[in-house]
Amino acid sequence: MAARLARMFVEAVGEAWIVLGHEAEAIAGALPGEARVRVVVNAMPERGMLSSLQCGLRAALAEGAEGVFFLPVDYAAVSGATVAAMRNAWWATAGAQVMLPREGGRRGHPVLVSRAVAEELLRLPAEGAAHEVIRRDAGRVEYVDVADAAIHRDADDAQAWAALVKEFGG
């Protein structure tokens, strides 16, 4: 799934940072071997999802990113068209603070944040959660309506993950 996401983001925005924790070496070996796909290893994945997000944000910001998409791998069914629509809307708004896809009136993944919001996320303590920053100020959130129910599709159990792998391949 990480390889699918890497290809999708490279196609849509030109590069991808994949944050790996457990089994990092094995997963990294399955990723597209190109310079535009960068692997970041979270040395302490047991600290949770926020620590992985912060590892990826640090890497992207160090490269000068003005905006950063992030997406947990268990939302790997999201379409490239959704990412492209968000990218286009981002450019049209001259860089919204927070951009979320919306389908059927419900927000989902991926999330696109400005550099300033990414820096706020980096300041969260280990016990924090990204949604604390994302939802702090509803006025800075912009929505992109998409026809992609996969923005809600969280494959967070073995059965859902197996279905995702069957649909898209390893």
**167 has pLDDT over 80:** no
Measure the CA dihedral 123/125/161/157, to 10°.
-160
Half-sphere exposure of 13 (CA within 13 A, CB side): 26
97 domain-assigned: yes
36 domain-assigned: yes
Of all helices (H) and strands (E), which one includes residue 169? Answer: none
169 domain-assigned: no
Q: What pLDDT does residue 111 have?
A: 96
170 domain-assigned: no
CB 89 within 8 A of CB 95: no
Range(s) of the domain holding residue 115: 2-164
Kindly report the CATH number assigned to the domain that includes residue 49. 3.90.550.10
Q: What pLDDT does residue 137 have?
A: 85
Look up residue 79 and give its two tokens: 């379409």
How far is 120 from 65, CA to CA, in rounded Å?
A: 15
148 domain-assigned: yes
Q: What pLDDT does residue 110 have?
A: 97
The structural domain count of the chain equals: 1
7 domain-assigned: yes
95 domain-assigned: yes
Q: What pLDDT does residue 60 have?
A: 95
- DSSP-derived secondary structure for 53-107: HHHHHHHHHHTT-SEEEE--GGGTT--HHHHHHHHHHHHHTTS-SEEEEEETTEE
How far is 18 from 165, CA to CA, in rounded Å?
A: 18
pLDDT band at 170 (very low <50, low <70, confident <90, very high): low
pLDDT band at 139 (very low <50, low <70, confident <90, very high): confident
